[in-house]
Amino acid sequence: IASADGEGGMSAEAIKARIARLIEAEEPKAILSDDTLVDLLAKDGCDIARRTVAKYREAMGIGSSVQRRRAKAIAG
């Protein structure tokens, strides 16, 4: 995946790991949407589309923000 500045880039695996870390660190009351994940990755210099974030998240078996919010509410 190309970097935002047009130089270098990040591997898909590095981006997946970053997405997983961001989701693991999210607060139960502030679940990150795919759009928010795109914004956070952009701050790290990764230019990636929302649908790519969704595809990577689903490939890792991580639910959508709605699913995660419900699961965390049930878990208490």
DSSP labels for 31-69? PPPHHHHHHHHHHTTB---HHHHHHHHHHTTPPPHHHHH
State pLDDT tens for residues 4-41.
Answer: 555 566 789 999 999 999 999 999 889 999 999 999 99
pLDDT of residue 64: 95
The answer to whether 34 touches 57, Cβ cutoff 8 Å, is yes
Mean pLDDT over 39-55 rounds to 93
Measure CA 67 to chain center: 14
pLDDT value, residue 8:
61
pLDDT at 38: 97
3-state class of 30 per DSSP? strand
* Confidence at 2, pLDDT banded by 50, 70, 90: low
What is the pTM (predicted TM-score) of this model? 0.85
CA distance 76 to 73: 5
